[in-house]
Amino acid sequence: MQNELIGKHLLIGLTYVNGNDEVVEQVQAHGNIVAINENTIVVLREDTGNEFSIPYDEDAFLPADPGEYSLRGSGEIVVNPDFISTWTIHSEDIEESSS
């Protein structure tokens, strides 16, 4: 599946939760996948032109239904992305990854 993802438009949703499972922050980004390996996917963000990476997990990429997707933070409309990937990051995970 890795080669099939290169050049595809990916909509990413990240939800950060604290130790009480309360939502602390939600981030949405989108862009074309420019690189992929067994551990990481790199997306070239359309809004900033910067690269953004997330872990590669084949099960975390779902085909997107055709249509318009409104980003909560910016109100930007993303039309017909190829895939959607959503992640929940727990505060414990953030602390472990920084040590």
Domain ranges of the chain: 2-97
pLDDT of residue 19: 86
Average pLDDT, the chain: 88
Element (H, E) at 4: helix 2-5
| Residue 96 banded pLDDT, cuts 50, 70, 90 | very low
Structure-model confidence comparison of residues 3 and 48, the more confident one:
48
Cα–Cα dist 91/99, whole Å: 13
Average the pLDDT over 16-36 and give the result.
92
Q: Dmax of the chain from CA atoms?
A: 41
| Residue 97 banded pLDDT, cuts 50, 70, 90 | very low
| Residue 92 banded pLDDT, cuts 50, 70, 90 | low
Q: Is the whole model's pTM more than 0.95, yes or no? A: no
Radius of gyration of the chain (CA): 14
Residue 19 and residue 39 in contact, taking contact as beta carbons nearer than 8 Å: no
pLDDT of residue 1: 59
* DSSP character at residue 58: G
